[in-house]
Amino acid sequence: MNAPVTTNNLDAFWMPFTANRQFKKNPRMFVGADRMHYTTSDGRQVLDGTAGLWCVNAGHNRPRIVEAIQKQAAELDYAPAFQMGHHKAFELASKLVQLTPPGLDHVMYTNSGSESVETALKTAIAYHRVKGDGSRFRLIGRERGYHGVNFGGISVGGIVPNRKMFGTLLTGVDHMRHTHDLARNAFTREVPEHGVELADDLERIVALHDASTIAAVIVEPVAGSTGVLLPPKGYLQKLRSICDKHGILLIFDEVITGFGRLGTPFAPDYFGVVPDIMITAKGLTNGVIPMGAVFVTNEIHDAFMNGPEHMIEFFHGYTYSGNPMACATALATLETYREEGLLTRGAELSSYWEDALHSLKGLPHVIDVRNIGLIGAIELEPIAGEPTKRAFAAFLDAYEKGLLIRTTGDIIALSPPLIIEKQEIDFIVDKLRDVLTSLN
């Protein structure tokens, strides 16, 4: 017989990205969720200020999605992903490429953001090779970038604790500087004025390695997990033109920014810069079933479509690529987004969101407030010698007060479901004001 779940038997599960010992002394358990709220095991309602982990864009327990999963499980639970197909995988692909910028008309499926990143990096290197340009193998990331936890992703990523434990990582990787500049840009609303020149770092790297060795540059259009760092005005445009000049592919990691987070369907719709490869996951299925998708240009796709027709063109894929359950969930998610206008709802709410967040300026320890679409960040002065402790205390206190936030370093990150109403934005900011006022 299974033992009942009590605080005494939490030992076996080694939790991801969690302070395990702290958690297990005082667990925070959810037992239900509906729309904007979780229900805790002690019967409280907690407002989801982070859309789960930046993924539940349509809110929780959405009827279309629930129904689609139930129906699909009874109809076709699994189909082999290699050399076989099922209708929903193709239907979803066709619908997705109508949403993405023109030219990004082909899509590969994965099961997570991390797998999408690996897929994109491998595709970039292989693309140059099939074109006869196999000397282009280098991958360029950026300091403070987050591209998931697999070896390619942590190699191009730039978050030190995510990298330093894991040996030599991938070779042939270099990093541009990050764009965070509190001295010049603190308390900017939306994209900061200063820092476009940081894109020239790519020219420096090209000068060092020679463009003929570089396959791709990967960036998050808005860096999320590192604590919400926005691209300076003109920065992404400049990266695009340097890539074009040198024949380097530009990869946008849109695992967070995709599917409406910026108030536009994807980052190119916001910034007017279109990458060669676009990485997504999270909001694709509203976070309900694991799934990711990687979009590539026609040029990249077509470069692989040669050789004998009985031959596999690209030796890559996963047992669960385009799993029927995931495809059904994604289709129901897209339908929910469409019916409720959620992919652009952030644009309608962003100025209210912005004013609400910036009203926290001047509270103790607050050294910056940042916002874009329905993303927000409040950066706190770290406690001397004890980095992360202040923000973690804020996280625990907010949870007790009925609000789920996310912290990274000493930064509070916010990304509520896109169905949020103005009074719920007020709730978030009122609770944060309480939390910040009483913080040591």
Q: In the β-sheet with 292-296, what is the strand arrangement from edge to edge?
A: 106-110, 292-296, 277-280, 249-253, 214-219, 138-142, 173-176
Q: Is 147 in the site for ligand PLP (CB under 6 A)?
A: yes
Determine if 121 is a binding residue for ligand PLP (CB under 6 A): no
Q: Taking contact as CB under 6 A, which single stretch among the options 251-259, 295-303, 365-373, 399-407 is the one that binds ligand PLP?
A: 251-259
Residue 427 CB, shortest distance to ligand PLP, in Å, is 25
| 3-class SS of residue 360 | coil
What is the signed CA dihedral for 51, 53, 55, 61, rounded to 10 degrees?
-50
**How near is the Cβ of 74 to ligand PLP at its closest, in Å?**
27
By the rule CB under 6 A, 409 interacts with ligand PLP? no
Q: Quick one: tokens of 98? A: 């109508």
Helix (H, G, I), strand (E, B) or coil at 337: helix
227 scored as a contact of ligand PLP (CB under 6 A): no
CB of 115 to ligand PLP, least distance (A): 7
CB of 226 within 8 A of CB of 163? no
- Pairwise CA distance, residues 259 & 283, whole Å: 6
Q: By CB under 6 A, what part of segment 201-220 binds ligand PLP?
A: 220
Binding mask 265-304 for ligand PLP (x = CB under 6 A): ----------------x-----------------------
Region binding ligand PLP by CB under 6 A among candidate stretches 99-107, 252-260, 306-314, 315-323: 252-260
Alpha-carbon gap, residue 80 to 322, rounded angstroms: 9
Q: Does 119 bind ligand PLP (CB under 6 A)?
A: no
| 439: its two tokens | 């913080």
Residue 123 binds ligand PLP (CB under 6 A): no
Query: 3-class SS at 144?
Result: coil
Cα separation, 90 vs 109, whole angstroms: 11
Tell me whether residue 179 or residue 225 sits nearer to ligand PLP (CB atom): 225
Which residue of 57, 72, 100, 114 would you call a contact of ligand PLP, by CB under 6 A? Answer: 114
Tell me which stretch binds ligand PLP (CB under 6 A): 112-120, 188-196, 237-245, 399-407.
112-120
Exposed e or buried b per residue across 202-232, where buried means at least 16 C-beta atoms within 10 angstroms of its C-beta:
beebbeeeebeebbbbbbbbbbbbbbbbbbb
Residue 108: C-alpha distances to residues 9, 59, 213, 332, 375 (Å): 40, 26, 26, 19, 27
Closest approach of ligand PLP to the CB of residue 153, in Å: 6
Residue nearest ligand PLP, Cβ-based: 113
Min dist. Cβ of residue 112 to ligand PLP (A): 4
**Site residues, ligand PLP (CB under 6 A):** 112-114, 117, 146-148, 220, 224-225, 253, 255-256, 281
